[in-house]
Structure 1
Amino acid sequence: MFTRRGFIPYLICFFSFWSLSILFIKYRKLSFQKKSLAYIVVPSDTSFVLSSTTVDTVIDNIYECVDDPRHFVLFNRIIIALSNLRNLGRVTDVDEILRSQAVHDESSMETSYALLSGFIWAIPVLGFIGTVLGLSQAIGGFGKVLQTSEELSQIKTSLQGVTGGLATAFETTLQALIAALFIQLILTFLKKSEEEFLDSCSEYCITNIVNKLRIMPFETQNDN
């Protein structure tokens, strides 16, 4: 039956498997990113103060944990803020930079789902197109039945094939709607997990970076 429904079911399967592949890759990446939350890159000593003179200690700890911090959302956010602190020496800018980077990460996350949103929109549309094509073929077949059949028994027999074509046409829409619903549910749960991860990154930065910041005496003199 599947091979008799034209090319539409193949397109539905293609976009569905493509969407599921993207979701699986994003899930694996998210699981990998979450591991960064387990690392404490700032010394746990209560006497440690994060300033422009102690930035290198934290940055060195990050590079001891991972080879390239840019591949991690959390570490990349911290590196950008601390690099600014090391270069400019302005403690007051760190919190603002972390917030700005958090907004950027959220925007990047939303953008990464754009293609999936397009697929979720396209799959049901393909199902409706398949149904319309099936209906047009069935109606055309019904017209041929009326033209070629003279007896009622022949019409009934021929109409069985036409109604079977109608059932096949609506099955295409059903398959597309089920596929889109399944993908949308997975996307919703994954997106929620990703949003929770970004919130955890922000909380991590506040607890381990912002709360450790102190304005040193020489910085106050420079500001004056």
Structure 2
Amino acid sequence: MNTQKQNANMNLSLPISLGIFLAIVTLVHFFYQGVVRPIASATIAAQGAASTTNIWVILKDVEQQVCISLGLFCLILMAYKYYRITFHEEPLFTTDYLAAIDKNQKINVENVINELEESKYSQNSSMQTWIDCLRRYKNTQNVQHASEAIRDSVESLADQLESGNSLIRYFIWAIPSIGFIGTVRGIGAALAKAEEAVAGDISGMVDKLGVAFNSTLVSLFVSIVLMYVLHMLNNRQDQMVIKTRKNCETHLLTRLHN
């Protein structure tokens, strides 16, 4: 299906996505091992319980590492989609592909379809909607049917764009869950230190409670940032669908009526 091909262009391929994911996981792991955890350990050793508000201490645990890795991966996926819309789709939103044909001249639908299909932009949503509309008009010689083809095409495009964000939405849902796992793990570990706390040594319990609260704090913060970026991306995708429909109705249907 044409819209499926176009949607594939809006998403990174599976091998590339997997490669980026593994690269992010590796880089974040090295950063944690070489920077975050050594600084956090030195801070805890120097400040004791007072170090709980230090940013390196807040970030040091494995749950925070996983949340940050997934968050960076989601940001790259959304950045690619934003790039595709801005530099590959948006310039064609308002393009009149019939501008070279005199307005008083009858359109040769077959020739126009062939020219659009041979274009290097043939998989862009705007041009693909034009092609679908012209094909319907060629087969039916009915402008109303061509208008319905536009509606069907942009609705399919909207559905494809929405489904293309499903992996991102899953990770945004999963990140707070990972934070809650850290909370449960931290509270369980803190309870195991209860006897030491009763004996007067609260450092172990404070450290484990820090795991519990810090993992939730970091995961919720990452999730909030990702939700905002996804909201902005959805707005751009909605605008792409709306402008694609308006472009086709304004420049193509008007000519077909003539």
**What is the TM-score of this pair, normalised by structure 1?**
0.80
1:78-97 equivalence runs, <5 A:
78-97=130-149
Deviation of the 1:68 alpha carbon: 4.9
Deviation of the 1:113 alpha carbon: 1.4
**What is the TM-score of this pair, normalised by structure 2?**
0.70
CA displacement 1:160-215 (0-9 Å, x = unmatched): 33123312321111110110000100110111011011101110011011111137
Structure 2 partner of 1:30: 85
**In 1: Cα distance, 2:226 partner to 2:61 partner:** 23
- Find out whether 1:140 has 2:192 as its counterpart: yes
Which residue, 157, 164, 170 being the options, matches 1:105? 157
- Find out whether 1:16 has 2:55 as its counterpart: no
- Find out whether 1:67 has 2:110 as its counterpart: no
- Are the structure 2 counterparts of residues 12 and 138 from structure 1 closer, same or farther at C-alpha, using a change threshold of 3 Å? same
Q: Report if aligned partners of 2:74, 2:171 keep a CA contact under 8 Å in 1.
A: yes
Structure 1: where are the runs of 5+ without partners? 150-154, 216-224
Number of matched residues?
201
RMSD after superposition: 2.3
Structure 1 window deviating more from structure 2 (29-38 vs 122-131): it is: 29-38
Bigger radius of gyration among the two: 1
CA displacement 1:14-55 (0-9 Å, x = unmatched): 2112211110111111111112125321136331444xxx11
Structure 1 partner of 2:205: 162
Q: Report if aligned partners of 2:143, 2:253 keep a CA contact under 8 Å in 1.
A: no
Which residue, 224, 236, 240 being the options, matches 1:197? 240
Q: Report if aligned partners of 1:19, 1:119 keep a CA contact under 8 Å in 2.
A: yes
Deviation of the 1:109 alpha carbon: 1.4
**In 2: Cα distance, 1:128 partner to 1:49 partner:** 65
CA displacement 1:46-94 (0-9 Å, x = unmatched): 31444xxx11343355357x3251x201111111221232344333311
Q: Report if aligned partners of 1:41, 1:61 keep a CA contact under 8 Å in 2.
A: no
Q: Report if aligned partners of 2:182, 2:211 keep a CA contact under 8 Å in 1.
A: no
- Are the structure 2 counterparts of residues 39 and 61 from structure 1 closer, same or farther at C-alpha, using a change threshold of 3 Å? farther
Instruction: Please tell me the residue identity of whatever aligns with 1:46.
Output: K
**In 2: Cα distance, 1:113 partner to 1:129 partner:** 25
Query: Identity rate of aligned residues, in percent?
Result: 21
Q: 1:109 aligns to what SS in structure 2?
A: helix
Q: 2:228 aligns to what SS in structure 1?
A: helix
